[in-house]
Structure 1
C-alpha cells in the first residue's frame, strides 16, 4: 500500500467526527384527569447525554426528538417533565408573567419535582404514556 493511501485512510478514520449515541424511537400519550392534553411539552432527561423533547398533538400523542426529528431518546433511565401553559406573554414584565396560566399542575413542569420517570429500552415498541392528576 502506498504511503499516500495509508495516510488518507488514517485521516478518514481519525476525522469521523464525534459520534452521536444511538437513540430509541419514543412515543406516548399524555392525559390529565383522563383527558388528552394537547400542545404540552414533554422532555426526557437521561442520566447522561442530551435530553429529548416533543410536543403533544390534539390527541395528546407525543414523539420525542434528540438529534433529528422523531429519532427518539437515548436508552436508559430518564427523569421527565411535562408542561402546558396558556396566556404566555410576548414580554417578560412581572405583570405579563403573572398572567401565565398552568394548564396542568406546575410540579409536572420540573423533572426534579414531577415524580415522573421513564426507562427507554433499545428495541422497545410500547408507548410510554403519562396519566397525570391533580
Structure 2
C-alpha cells in the first residue's frame, strides 16, 4: 500500500506540497515530499491510502481496507503534522 498526504491549505507561494510513501508490512511509513524520507510539511493534511498496483495475470489480492481510503476526497482521514515531531499515528477501519 502507498500513502499520500496533501496539505489542506497552500503555503505562502500558493502551492500544496504533497508527500507520499510506501506502507511497510508492520504499518509504518516514511513520507517523501522534496527528498527521499524528508517528511511532510507542517500543518493539517488530507490522507489517502491506495492498494498496490496489480502486476501480472493472477487474481487481484483482496483489499485490506475499504476503497474509500484511496481518495483524498472520500477517505475522511486527516492528520496534523507538527514541526520537530516526526511520528504520527493513523488508524483506519476495515469496514
Same fold (TM over 0.5): yes
* Aligned equivalent of 2:6: 45
Unmatched segments (≥5 aa) in structure 2: 11-15
Unmatched segments (≥5 aa) in structure 1: 1-39, 91-95
What stretches of structure 1 move > 4 A for 4+ residues in a row?
none
Taking a change above 3 Å as real, the CA distance of residues 89 and 58 of structure 1, as seen in their structure-2 partners, is closer
Structure of higher CA gyration radius: 1
Query: TM-score, normalization: structure 2?
Result: 0.77
- Cα offset, 1:103, TM superposition: 3.0
Query: TM-score, normalization: structure 1?
Result: 0.57
Q: Which has the higher strand share?
A: 1
- Measured against aligned partners, the alpha-carbon deviations of 1:46-86 in whole angstroms (never above 9, x if no partner) come to 12222000101121110000011110111111100012246
Q: Which has the higher helix share?
A: 1
Q: How does 1:52-71 map to 2 (within 5 A)?
A: 52-71=19-38
